[in-house]
Amino acid sequence: HSLSPVMHNTGFMARGVDAVYLPFLVRELKDFIAAIEPLGIRGFSITQPHKQTMLKYLTECDSLAAEIGAVNTVVVRRDGSLAGSNTDYVGVIRALEKKMRLRGSRVLIFGAGGAARAAAFAVARSGAAVGICARRETQAKELARAVSGEALPRKALRTERFDAILNATPVGMHPRSEVSPLSAGELHCRIVMDLISRPLRTKLLEIAAKKGMETVSGIEMFVPQGVAQWELWTGKRAPETEMRRAVMGALRAMTEG
């Protein structure tokens, strides 16, 4: 269901780059790593559940991705070594800064996986106070410590107030788009952002909109992080307008279908 192929391949065609972006279903990461050389792979994206595990296969990792503890982008060097980065961080900041001033705000991250880690570091480094709530309490506490934030139990969401709440879990993603990770009674904020990019309007965002809150679709993060990936792989400036148009067109077609 990923929109990454249509986004990146549109970029390649627009810039005349002789490359193709393909989806791989990876159950064992080591099997994919072994296939990089024979398949001639020059770079790749990492999705859950491999964003943290990927670190042990890298020869080089940028300092921010190492601090976050998760990568979503890998460049294959000419000698076959792997260099990792995290562009989810860029996507989160660009999406939120269009809607709010992060410095001095209070932001809740719901989740504690790879995407949640990138989001937590992004908002913390921008000057926000960060709260972490996740099903796995140990992971939530570890991430909260890493960003000098606060781990919150689920029951606290019924009374705690935030400037923004970010869903960084896959709950509500296509094809199970009828569910929401949070209920209306747990949303006490001005802005709700869902890192899920498909569907465009998740159940969570529908609930938030009914409560009169501003909503931010995962597409607002997805496109900037993809643009940053594309530029890392090619060394060229990405055709962002064309890439965004292709993604939105694909989403509309899927919705109508």
Tell me the catalytic residues.
51
Asked if 217 and 204 touch (Cβ cutoff 8 Å), the reply is no
Asked if 132 and 150 touch (Cβ cutoff 8 Å), the reply is yes
Asked if 36 and 100 touch (Cβ cutoff 8 Å), the reply is no
The helix-helix angle for 219-234 and 88-97 (nearest 10°) equals 140
* N residues, the chain: 257
Structure tokens at 215: 């909503």
Residue located via tokens 């705000």: 105
Long-range CB pairs of 5-13, under 8 A, 24+ apart, other chains included: 6/246, 6/247, 6/250, 7/222, 7/223, 7/226, 7/243, 7/246, 7/247, 8/226, 8/229, 8/230, 8/243, 10/239, 10/242, 10/243, 10/245, 10/246, 11/230, 11/238, 11/239, 11/242, 11/243
